[in-house]
Amino acid sequence: MKKKERIIATLKGIETDRIPFSVYQHSTVHERDINRFVDYTLGFYEKYDPDYIKVMFDDNYDTPVNWQYITDITIWKKLENFDPHIGAFGRQLEILKQLKDKAGENVPVIQTIFSPFHFSHRLTNRRMLKDWEIDPESVEYGFNIIAENLIAFSDCCLKEAGIDGFFFGAFGCEESWMTESQYKQMVMPFDLKVLNEFSNAEIVILHIHGEKNSFFNLLKEYPCNGISWEDRISGPSLKEAIKQTDKCLIGGINHLKAVQYQQEDILNEAKEAIYCTKGRKFILAPGCTFLEGTPENNMHALKIAVEKYGCNK
């Protein structure tokens, strides 16, 4: 099967020739040159041969002139709508156009979209929670502007770059950040504002970021056709998640321990995950990005595992 055909079928629960897999890594945090970014991303894809190209958006969020960060509570209402064709988003659009053109129609290209809350965290650190307590109206205004810019950008990703879908990173959705009720009030409306605009995308993967007690039970209802989360660290386990949702599950590998693991350890986790899910609606992947310093052999192990344990024909 072609890679796109395999991914789409897996998300729908249709039997495929083998279980698909994903390998990705935040290795371009400081890379803003378009051609180098494209070359790096394609090189990574060609090295590990995953079933889709997950493009990481590690550039800065464009803020108004003179305000690189939200340094105090008054800056929230200075955030503004901007043209997604310029600045950091514009660079990413050009990157996506080149990646999709070079990858071809049979290789899915999906863009990572960080949530409005995640971008706000980058701009304020945890001070945003205090700002919310003091002036929720201003914070909501800022979140809404960020959401609108993400929606405009994602629309261009589909219509102009021709990509296949999105990997939406929900952030702050764990007890170390806030209570579940706080998340529902403060964060969820803006998660959904963005996610609800992805209906024209063939692939929508939700990533529930969290290393302990994440709100899986809450976010599993988000509009998406696949759920990625740190199953080996935060839970629930794959076995437990199968009972909670019929959506495609994405994970199985402990990305934190992968730094010290031997390849055999990765293969054992992969084998267990594949057998647990019986290969239905499952994509083998790290629970979150493979960290810098993860041995290449350990990332190569995912392809070895699906070819060894995940073939259906």
Helices 188-195 + 136-159 axis angle, to 10: 20
Task: Give which of 56, 61, 77 is closest to 123, Cα–Cα.
Answer: 61
CATH of the domain at 131: 3.20.20.210
What is the SS3 assignment for 228?
strand
Give the chain's domain count.
1
Per-residue pLDDT of the chain (313 residues; tens, 9 = 90+): 999 999 999 999 999 999 999 999 986 655 678 998 999 999 999 999 999 999 987 788 888 888 889 999 999 999 999 999 999 999 999 999 999 999 999 999 999 999 999 999 999 988 889 999 999 999 999 999 999 999 999 999 999 999 999 999 999 999 999 999 999 999 999 999 999 999 999 999 999 999 899 999 999 999 999 999 999 999 999 999 999 999 999 999 999 999 999 999 999 999 999 999 988 899 999 999 999 999 999 999 999 999 999 998 6
pTM of the model: 0.96
Tabulate helix, strand, coil % of the chain (nearest 5). Answer: 50, 15, 40
Domain that holds residue 169: 3-309
**Distance (Å) of CA 117 to CA 66, 187, 234, 278:** 22, 6, 20, 35
